[in-house]
């Protein structure tokens, strides 16, 4: 033992267990190699007496380098976490923006639909008011015409009888102003409907088809006619187109199979519910020459 071993300042530093194990492993490997070599040599070989100094292997790791690596790894992990959180925030913000945009679009569409509905209701009310005013006007006109026709019938019964007898004998009227009695009521009613719509199968009061208008006009004179044009043109007596009187029924087609009817109102004109494009109109006979005429009065 060295005479200075007891002095702390001269003591050798302790080796760590890992260093000692490493050195022992290396030394053991070298000694094993030497032993194998000796065993393989000649039997009379001299024993080895030389001391071999084993090199010292330094497997120490720098403490500062390890700390730097650990710090760098931690910083990288932290940065990845920050990037992930930032991406999540951006995705959430984008989703919220899309949701807000869709909500705003839906609200704008709702307001537009409500405004369109309001306008439609207002237009419908205006149209209904206009139609009501027109109906009231036509109703007043019909009432006045009915009153005028009634007074004419009461005060001019002899004139009406004369007119009826003239009708039976085939007399001719060239002007609607000469229509009296039942014929006047029929003509007045027909003319009061001019401007109404044409609707197939309609019988009034604001839309008509051809036979519906003729049937309603004759009802003013207390005469019930069949509903369809073919049956209406089969009633009464056939008259010549040159011998027409106001109130006569004009027909198109064959008499028993006519497809259209109208009312002759005098002056070479007729009133009829023509078609959906024109509605109820007063036209000259030249506009659409009838096939024939019948007299029911």
Q: Where are the domains of the chain?
A: 156-295
Phi, psi dihedral angles at 67 (to 5 degrees) = -65, -40
The pLDDT value given to residue 68: 81
Q: DSSP code of 206?
A: S
What's the pTM value of the predicted model, to 2 decimals? 0.45
Ranges under pLDDT 70 in the chain: 1-64, 124, 127-178
Residues 6 or more apart whose Cβ sits within 8 Å of residue 279? 195, 196, 197, 198, 273
CA dist 229 and 250 (Å) reads 10
State how far Cα 151 lies from the chain centre: 58
CA distances from 92 to 88, 102, 153 (A): 6, 15, 90
Q: Which of 252, 250, 294, 244 is nearest to 268 (CA)?
A: 244
156-295: which CATH topology?
A: endopeptidase fold (from Nostoc punctiforme) (3.90.1720)
């Amino acid at each position: 033992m060295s005479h200075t071993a007891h002095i702390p300042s001269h003591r050798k530093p302790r080796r760590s267990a890992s260093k000692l194990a490493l050195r022992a492993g290396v030394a053991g490997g070298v000694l094993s190699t030497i032993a194998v070599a000796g065993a393989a040599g000649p039997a009379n070989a001299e024993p080895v007496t030389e001391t071999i100094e084993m090199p010292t292997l330094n497997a120490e790791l720098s403490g500062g380098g390890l700390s730097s690596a650990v710090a760098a790894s931690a910083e990288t992990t932290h940065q990845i976490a920050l990037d992930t959180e930032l991406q999540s925030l951006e995705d959430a913000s984008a989703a919220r923006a899309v949701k807000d945009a869709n909500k705003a679009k839906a609200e704008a569409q709702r307001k537009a639909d409500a405004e369109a509905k309001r306008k439609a209701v207002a237009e419908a009310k205006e149209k209904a008011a206009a139609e009501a005013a027109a109906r009231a006007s036509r109703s007043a006109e019909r009432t006045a015409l009915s009153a005028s026709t009634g007074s004419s019938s009461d005060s001019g019964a002899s004139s009406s009888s004369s007119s009826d007898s003239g009708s039976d004998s085939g007399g001719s009227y060239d002007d609607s102003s000469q229509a009296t009695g039942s014929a006047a009521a029929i003509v007045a009613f027909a003319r009061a409907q001019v401007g109404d719509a044409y609707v197939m199968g309609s019988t009034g009061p604001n839309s008509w088809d051809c036979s519906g208008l003729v049937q309603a006009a004759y009802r003013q004179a207390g005469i019930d006619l069949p509903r369809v044009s073919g049956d209406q043109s089969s009633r009464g007596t056939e008259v010549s187109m040159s011998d027409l009187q106001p109130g006569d029924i004009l027909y198109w087609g064959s008499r028993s199979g006519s497809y259209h009817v109208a009312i002759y109102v005098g002056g070479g004109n007729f009133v009829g519910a023509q078609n959906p494009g024109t509605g109820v109109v007063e036209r000259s006979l030249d506009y659409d020459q009838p096939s024939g005429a019948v007299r029911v009065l």
